[in-house]
Amino acid sequence: MSRKRRISRRSVLRGAALGAASIAVTPILSMNRRVSAAQTGIPGRFVVVINMLGGADGLNMVIPSHLSPYVDRRANINLANEAGSGGGRPVGASNHDLDGRFQLHYNMGNIKSMWDENDLHIVNKVSYPNPNQSHFTSQDIFSFGVRDNFSDGDGRGWLGRFADLHCSNPSEPLGVISVGLGRRPDFNSATTAPLILRNVASFQVDPDTEFTDDHALREKVMRDTLGAEVPPPGNPTLTIFDTSKQAYELIDRVQSETAEWVDPGTYPTSTLGNYLKTTSQLLQGQSSFGTKVFYTGFGGFDTHSNEIGRHANLMTQLNDAVGAFRNDMVAKNKWNDCMIVVISEFGRRVFENGSFGTDHGHGNAFLLMGGRVKGRLDAGSGLSAEIIESDIDTENFVPFAVDFRDIYSELLLDHLGVDPSGIFPDPTFTPDPSALNIV
């Protein structure tokens, strides 16, 4: 028999590990090394983080149409006025009024319906102390949860610290799931690791791209070998053998726990629509998975030029996907357990640039949606979160007033029922965090 045709048991196990690479070897290796603390919090409740990557223009999402500087300094792209009449809103399109002063973007009708049902809470001026206008720096601050990760951080992301503290039951390793965004620094951890996938259908062993017809046989051989083999001596959690076995077990578990999910047929085929559809599918197995946080998002928000059309398409994608997810959760009696938080690494500048777009800014609007939300627009609540005329009359940036970490902390404490202590080691700077009162 030629050398290239000789197959050892070791090579089969090596192939199994390579075949399982799509679900990430490191998380699987960490599964049995987790500390044995029980999961904490309120069973069934969960948070969905939607990251609008690129720095979304909060002023054209939650529109201060009553403030003349907003109109004057955005002569071509303000949405208070129609195109041809001193603004950029399409002729015939109507914004959605919130309180007689602020309005939602004209393509956010589904989200406006949540406002009408007191299921939408809006916080303006969200950022962190001394805001940075670099995408990379600001995204890192949002990911690590500290202003200076080199001086004050421990290398873990905020979700990594959360998982280490509150999702460390070895039998339930899926406390945090990343849908579609890969391994972001948010998930860096010490003793735990998230499940990372794009969709359930593709969460399987990678086929051999050179011999695709042999995939089924190859997988059967791997499974049979792993099932019959006695674990090697020593620490089995640090071997390719155990890694591969856990990989197959996790694949089977995700597939079996989500098998009875029913597609409502209402999700849009956009990027975010597909990711929220996958989130719904994974929620089918939540009683088994114990998932507390789903993290997803979509990009395109760096609107330095031709903002009106580009931003309108992005708002449509957000509105349609979130609307479909909300209706799905209501139908499945999960809306009261759900909290959606829509974030972005920074806002845009107050004034338009020469390319009919906006450049990087500071403070931004966060949207929080769910059945337990206290619906309101934070203004005059002790947060100093309302955008007033002096904020945008001569200033270049919407100022910082509400620390994003205080928003996360309230959601963790009052919605998930877990103690946020230890998740955000930096001091935060919201004047009165208790005034947030989101749920």
The pLDDT of residue 142: 97
State how beta strands 96-97 and 376-377 pair.
unpaired
Question: How would residue 428 be classed by pLDDT, with cut points 50, 70 and 90?
Answer: confident
Q: Which helix (H) or strand (E) holds 121?
A: strand 120-127
pTM: 0.87
Q: Is the pLDDT of residue 19 over 80?
A: no
The pLDDT of residue 30: 38
Mean pLDDT, residues 309-319 taken together? 98
User: Between 195 and 116, where is the model more confident?
Assistant: 116
Q: What is the tens place of the pLDDT at every residue in 163-194?
A: 999 986 655 568 899 999 998 999 999 888 78
417's tokens: 């029922």
Per DSSP, the three-state class of 178 is strand
Q: Which of 6-20, 236-250, 257-271 has the lowest mean pLDDT?
A: 6-20
Q: What is the tens place of the pLDDT at every residue in 27-63?
A: 433 343 333 344 578 999 999 999 999 999 999 999 9
Closest by CA to 372, choosing from 284, 286, 437, is: 437
Closest by CA to 169, choosing from 27, 37, 291, 31, is: 37
The pLDDT of residue 2: 39
- Percentage of residues in the chain having pLDDT higher than 70: 79
Rounded to 5 degrees, φ, ψ at 206 are -65, 135
Mean pLDDT, residues 279-301 taken together? 93
Which DSSP state fits 394?
Answer: S
Question: How would residue 340 be classed by pLDDT, with cut points 50, 70 and 90?
Answer: very high
- Percentage of residues in the chain having pLDDT higher than 90: 64
Q: Which residue segments constitute the domains of the chain, with CATH numbers given?
A: 8-37+204-257 (no CATH), 38-200+267-435 (3.40.720.10)
Q: Which of 125-139, 171-185, 196-210, 396-410 has the lowest mean pLDDT?
A: 196-210
The pLDDT of residue 33: 36
